[in-house]
Amino acid sequence: MTVPLWTVAVPLRETVDPATLASEVVHYSIPALEATGQPAVEPSDTIKSLKLRVRGGELLVSKLNPRKSRVLLVPPVSTPTVASTEFVAFRPVAAEPRFLVYCLSAEPTRQLLDSNVRSVTRSHQRVEPEVIARVPIPAIPLDEQRRIADFLDSEVASIGLLMSATGSQVALLRRRHLEWLRQVTTGTEEGTTASTRIPWMPNVNRDWGLHRVSRVFKTGSGTTPTATDASNFGGAHPWVNTGDLRDGPVTATSKSVTDSALERFTTLTTYPPGSLLIAMYGATIGRTGMLRIPSTVNQACCVLYRETAVSAEFAWQWFIAHRPWILNLAAGAGQPNISQETIRGLNIPSPTLDLQRQIVATVRREAIRVASTEDALLRRVDLLTERRQAIITAAVTGQLDVTTARGGRS
């Protein structure tokens, strides 16, 4: 037997201008919760719309993209607190609040709400508050609700610890690989080193050279043809924008340009396969790609081509290894960029070309190993997520006897 949510938790609709509460408020917003899992403390005058007044003890259920199951219980509050109107708020009155959180997080509820969304885009789908208020809740005694909630608190916490530990392993794996890559592309893994006087790359193998990028590569960029002229796009010539850069080989592009575009825009140079591309600004700043096809590029791409003492493949790995520090050289307040001149002025190590080829081969083998290990760890996170969801669903729907599952402990 079930009852609708609204019969055991009263819907709350009180809204308030945060600026009338205090100079700072605790704000439950979807971006903050996705970023940190916690509400954010924000100056109230920066919040430009009415918010739900939150006093502690409320159940918040997101209307936005319910398949993501954003459900939380607000703890007791001691400072003025508000919540985004993307949430629907309920105050539990005839049910264990934690039990309601788990019911609303269970798979049947997620499927029910997801099947009742409105909106044309997958990323911004919403469910009406009335649909959430009608979610069926198992009609079981309060003491049984508390037993189930206690059991799930313990199980979910244990799974959360495993997920956190696995996430830490992934982060450690990436850090160690980056440090190894820094060492192998500077020759500091073994052998005698010499100072470079570069703070972010202080040493390099004593037997290696050190050249400015402008001395060992030709550099260039491109442009964006007039977007409103349809005759510029859809031709036979690949055109790379920074969204095509994924730190991997570029074998295809999302857009192409026409012969007439090449004729009208003289900066639309076609670069040869083997050219290294680096995103100079925007959301993809610092991303790289290696051309495997002849291609033009847009103005946000820096191109390194016509290699001499340093191969593009070696430079690629060196740039990835030192990218976090190179990005610190970005200039500009509104949209920081690592200009073509910044890249041209970088000093890059140069072992012999034969040794560069050996290093690149070693890096590729190691990258495969690291990727395999990372995939296995991420798969473990997926399995733990599935297990957490399965246990929650089984417990709140009565498929799992929590007393038996806990070995008879009360």
Tell me: do 119 and 219 sit in the same domain. Answer: no
Domain membership of residue 402 (yes or no) is no
Cβ contact 258:242 at 8 Å:
no
Residue whose entry in the numeric block shows the structure tokens 């319910």: 66
**Which residue in this structure is represented by tokens 């530990």?**
165
Domain final residue pick, 87, 107, 136: 136
Task: Please report, rounded to a whole number, the percentage of residues in the chain having pLDDT higher than 70.
Answer: 97
Q: Is 204 contained in some domain?
A: no
pLDDT band at 403 (very low <50, low <70, confident <90, very high): confident
Position 182 in a domain: no
In a domain, 7, yes or no: yes
Q: Within this chain, do residues 129 and 214 fall inside the same structural domain, yes or no?
A: no
- Token pair recorded at residue 311: 């191969």
Tell me the C-alpha distance between 181 and 178, whole Å. Answer: 5
**Which of 350, 366, 386 is the endpoint of a domain?**
350
Do 225 and 331 fall within a single domain? yes
Which CATH number goes with the domain that contains 124? Answer: 3.90.220.20
Q: What is the pLDDT of residue 405?
A: 72
Q: Based on the fold, state whether residues 220 and 346 are members of the same structural domain.
A: yes
The first and second tokens of residue 179, run together, are: 């440090």
Q: Is residue 147 part of a domain?
A: no
The answer to whether 121 and 66 have CB atoms below 8 angstroms apart is no
In a domain, 367, yes or no: no
410 pLDDT exceeds 70? Answer: no
- Taking the C-alpha atoms of residue 271 and residue 221, their distance in angstroms, rounded to an integer, is 9
pLDDT band at 120; cut points 50, 70, 90: low
Residue 67: the pLDDT is: 87
Burial of 48 (0-12, 13-18, 19+ CB in 10 A): exposed
**Mean pLDDT for the chain?**
94
28 found inside a domain: yes
CA distances (Å), 59 to each of 30, 52, 132, 261, 394, in order?
A: 15, 12, 12, 57, 22
In this structure, are 220 and 118 located in the same domain? no
* Better-scored residue on pLDDT, 221 or 122: 221
Q: What is the pLDDT of residue 333?
A: 63
pLDDT at 395 over 70: yes
Tokens 């070696």 correspond to 314
- Residue 380 belongs to a domain: no
Mean pLDDT, residues 59-83:
94
Last residue of a domain, one of 136, 165, 188: 136
Measuring CA to CA, which residue among 325, 349, 330 is closest to residue 341? 330
**Range of the structural domain that residue 248 is part of:** 209-350
Same-domain check for residues 219 and 327: yes
Q: How does residue 407 score in pLDDT terms, banded at 50, 70 and 90?
A: low
The domain tally of the chain equals 2
Cα distance between residue 99 and residue 250, in whole Å: 50
Structure tokens at 222: 């491109």
Residue pair 406/395 in contact by the 8 Å Cβ criterion: no
Cα(207)–Cα(375) distance, rounded to whole angstroms?
37
* Whole-number pLDDT of residue 123: 67
Contact assessment for residue 113 and residue 131, using Cβ atoms and an 8 Å cutoff: yes
Residues 259-307: tens digit of each pLDDT:
999 999 999 999 999 999 999 999 999 999 999 999 999 999 999 999 9
- Quote the CA–CA distance of 275 and 382 in Å, as a whole number: 37
Tens of pLDDT, residues 336-381: 899 999 999 999 999 999 999 999 999 999 999 999 999 999 999 9
Whole-model pTM? 0.84
